Amino acid sequence: MEPMSAQDAMFLHVENDVTPMHIGGMSIFAGPPPGFDELLEMVRGKLPRVPRYRQKVRFVPLGMSEPMWVDDPYFDLAYHLRHSAVPAPGSEAQLRTMAARVFSQHLDRARPLWEIWMVEGLKDERWALLSKVHHCMVDGVAATDLMSVMFSDEDGSSPPPAWDPRAEPSDLELLVRGASHRVLHPAEQARAAMRTRPDLVRGTLGALRAMAAAAPGLRPSRSSLTGAIGPHRVWSWARVGLGEVKQVRASLGGTINDVVLTIVAAGFRDLLTERGDEIGAQRVVRTMVPVSVRLPGERGVYNNRVSAVVARLPVGTDDPAARLGEIREQMDGIKSSRQAVAGEVLTQLSGFAPPLLLALGSRVVTRSARFNLDTATTNVPGPQQPVHALGRRLEASYPYVPIVGTIRIVVAIFSYDGTLYFGVTGDRDHAPDIETLSRGIEAGLTALTRQAAAIPA
């Protein structure tokens, strides 16, 4: 048995009938596709390196502790690895439609919380792997490490050791372990709090200054981007060259992330314009930007180590270069305020909260998102060299993240082998038009590139 962290448990607690909380993506490979049995054996050979993939969640009676990870004695790989196809010659639009249906479905909580779908029928002899893994298992950065494990040709040839699961605990054993964990856990948290007290004070003060600066923009949202959501999803994607992004950064200033946020702002500007929303000069789209606080030595540790900052995308600014300048100035201010550091320290301290209160608090935060957020934008670095599965090269990898609460559209970015891949998730009932946002992202970089090229060398 292994207790789940407070932050990981939050992603279970916020899940409801209309909010499945898994992340994932679509990885498209050069063909011809392998045999499904061949893929099954490859994945079986990698499972010893990711033990969480053969564990399931058990809730502790009476909420005495966070949920526990336990070995699944009935683990069946064939249940988690699925086989499907689109009508040949399948287009990317058909692939996205199929993926949106799969992403709309909840993972089975009685089993390990992941699925991989092999999809055939794509034109040009390509094939794809659609992956789903619950957010309580990994954050975006850890999921990148998992992809490297599952979709590489290393250590997959020798037979895996026999799976010998530990006996599943009874409810009484869970209760005893949960109670002991609750007794011992605050002491460790107190020691961590004492070690990090200077960072807590400095970081919290910085965060308060950042929040005060942002206060004029944190008013209740009246945007079409927020409101009630339904159970069904629509998914779109875009891609841009990382080299072009770097050229813009070199000519116009800022960081790669500043440029990425600028072209996302261009996409939202196009979307809101097409919808007929009012876009004045001061109009912004408020986005949560997750920030990884995983330490260098923590690669391969499959848990959630993220904080977040709030950025305002200046969609009311017409000139692309001026929009980049505003975002650059804003993000520089956020960095100097140490807002992300404060967020991480407070996340650590959330371990003090009884799990039942944490569950309620998580839901309250999610339902209150409409008061200060319009969307979320997450940027995850991936491998910058080709990745292979069964000798087939990974050509493209589009990420998927869930919409939560009253946020109807979210954007995820994954960098791989010199390209930035954007995955845009929307609520089918209220955001069926997210293709406009995807096209606007690509057009936004084109506009910035044009302005960068006009600057004398």
Domain final residue, candidates 123, 146, 178: 178
- pLDDT, residue 291, reads 63
Could you confirm whether 135 is annotated as catalytic? yes
User: Residue 56 domain-assigned?
Assistant: yes
262 and 136 inside one domain: no
pTM above 0.75, yes or no: yes
Split at pLDDT 50, 70, 90, the class of 107 is very high
- pLDDT, residue 55, reads 93
Give long-range contacts, CB 8 A cutoff, 24+ apart: 352-359.
352/186, 352/189, 353/6, 354/63, 354/182, 355/6, 355/9, 355/60, 355/63, 355/64, 355/65, 355/66, 356/63, 358/6, 358/9, 358/10, 358/13, 358/66, 359/9, 359/13, 359/63
What CATH number did the domain enclosing 150 receive? Answer: 3.30.559.10
For 372-401, the pLDDT digits (tens) are 789 989 887 788 888 888 889 999 999 999
Given the residues 22, 80, 134, 135, select the one marked as catalytic. 135
351 and 277 inside one domain: yes
211 and 143 inside one domain: no
Candidates 262, 315, 257, 255; CA nearest to 446 is 262
286 and 221 inside one domain: yes
Domain encompassing residue 9: 2-155+172-178
Render 85-145 in DSSP notation, one character per residue.
EEEEEE-HHHHHHHHHHHHTSPP-TTS-SEEEEEEEEEGGG-EEEEEEEETTT--HHHHHH
What average pLDDT score do residues 242-262 get?
94
Residue 261 confidence (pLDDT) above 90: yes
349 vs 336: CA distance, rounded Å: 23
Split at pLDDT 50, 70, 90, the class of 192 is very low
Split at pLDDT 50, 70, 90, the class of 235 is very high
- pLDDT, residue 83, reads 97
- pLDDT, residue 439, reads 98
Neighbours of 368 (CB within 10 A): 12
- pLDDT, residue 297, reads 56
Question: Which has more confidence, 249 or 66?
Answer: 249
For 325-374, the pLDDT digits (tens) are 999 999 888 766 655 544 444 444 444 444 545 454 444 445 445 457 89
- pLDDT, residue 336, reads 67
Question: Which has more confidence, 183 or 288?
Answer: 288
User: Residue 191 domain-assigned?
Assistant: no
285 and 425 inside one domain: yes
- pLDDT, residue 456, reads 79
Q: How many domains does the chain have?
A: 2
119 and 244 inside one domain: no
Candidates 248, 224, 283; CA nearest to 429 is 224
15 and 151 inside one domain: yes
208 and 306 inside one domain: yes
Range name among 66-70, 85-89, 197-201, 372-376 with the lowest pLDDT average: 197-201
User: Residue 166 domain-assigned?
Assistant: no
Sign of CA dihedral 445, 268, 341, 335: positive
What average pLDDT score do residues 255-279 get?
95
235 and 310 inside one domain: yes
What CATH number did the domain enclosing 213 receive? Answer: 3.30.559.30
132 and 226 inside one domain: no
Domain final residue, candidates 178, 213, 230: 178
Give long-range contacts, CB 8 A cutoff, 24+ apart: 246-253.
247/449, 247/452, 248/324, 248/445, 248/448, 248/449, 248/452, 250/452, 251/452, 251/453, 251/455, 252/321, 252/324, 252/325, 252/448, 252/451, 252/452, 252/455, 253/324, 253/325, 253/328
- pLDDT, residue 195, reads 42
For 307-317, the pLDDT digits (tens) are 667 889 999 99
- pLDDT, residue 337, reads 63
Q: What b/e readout covers 17-52, taking b as 16+ CB neighbours within 10 angstroms?
A: eeebbbbbbbbbbeeebbeeeebbbbbbebbeebeb
Split at pLDDT 50, 70, 90, the class of 82 is very high
User: Residue 185 domain-assigned?
Assistant: no
Question: Which has more confidence, 415 or 208?
Answer: 415
- pLDDT, residue 157, reads 56
- pLDDT, residue 58, reads 94
366 and 237 inside one domain: yes
What average pLDDT score do residues 212-222 get?
49
User: Residue 361 domain-assigned?
Assistant: yes
User: Residue 318 domain-assigned?
Assistant: yes
User: Residue 165 domain-assigned?
Assistant: no
295 and 359 inside one domain: yes
Tell me the average pLDDT of the chain.
Answer: 81
Burial category of 296 from C-beta neighbours within 10 Å (exposed 0-12, middle 13-18, buried 19 and up): exposed
User: Residue 303 domain-assigned?
Assistant: yes
- pLDDT, residue 154, reads 61
- pLDDT, residue 191, reads 44
